[in-house]
């Protein structure tokens, strides 16, 4: 079992989820704990192993939707904190630009900081569980 700092896992996860799906990826070396990031948009000037996407020595960090940290999390937050806005927010997620409209609504309800804290806690919980499932120990 390898040990990795949570901050390294979180940074790689955020990088992999920073753009459109499949634009960027992050992998954990299951032998060393090293993180490798790739992008179709920018040159990272990082030498990545040739077998990064084919070897069982590496595992790709999940997309946020694979951990229910996308639309489902936003709807859960609204259901718990702003239940009167649930149908409005659900409607946002039926078309493009949903997160922008969602965050605008949160700003008008003075709930944006509460959302960010809720999202950060859910992300940490989900990533820690994912690491545990894949034999990755979180260290200091």
Which of 62, 77, 109 is a domain's end point? 62
Residue 119 CB burial class (10 angstroms; 0-12, 13-18, ≥19): middle
Mean pLDDT of the region 2-6: 94
Which of 27, 45, 62 is a domain's end point? 62
Q: What is the CA radius of gyration of the chain?
A: 17
Count of residues in the chain: 140
> Do residues 6 and 55 share a domain?
yes
Domain that holds residue 88: 67-119
pLDDT at 22 exceeding the cut of 80: no
pTM for the whole structure:
0.87
Mean pLDDT of the region 20-48: 83
Q: Left (φ > 0), alpha (ψ -120 to 50) or beta: where does 22 sit?
A: left
Structure tokens belonging to residue 135: 């034999």
Pairing verdict, β 2-5 and 136-139 = parallel
What angle separates helix 112-133 from helix 71-81, to the nearest 10 degrees? 130
What average pLDDT does the structure give for the chain? 92
pLDDT for the residue 98: 94
pLDDT for the residue 49: 84
Contact (CB, 8 A) for 26 and 59: no
Residue 95 belongs to some domain of the structure: yes
> Do residues 6 and 58 share a domain?
yes
pLDDT at 44 exceeding the cut of 70: no
Residue 75 belongs to some domain of the structure: yes
């Amino acid at each position: 079992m390898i040990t990795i700092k949570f901050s390294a896992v979180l940074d790689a996860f955020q990088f992999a989820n920073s753009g459109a799906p499949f634009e960027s990826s992050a992998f954990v070396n299951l032998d060393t704990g090293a993180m490798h990031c790739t992008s179709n948009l920018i040159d990272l000037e990082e030498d990545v192993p040739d077998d990064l996407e084919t070897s069982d020595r590496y595992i790709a960090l999940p997309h946020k939707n694979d951990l229910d940290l996308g639309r489902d999390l936003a709807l859960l937050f609204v259901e718990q904190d702003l239940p009167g806005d649930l149908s409005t927010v659900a409607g946002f997620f039926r078309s493009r630009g949903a997160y922008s409209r969602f965050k605008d609504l949160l700003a008008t309800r003075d709930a944006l900081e509460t959302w960010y804290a809720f999202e950060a806690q859910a992300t940490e919980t989900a990533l820690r569980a994912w690491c545990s499932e894949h034999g990755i120990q979180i260290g200091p």
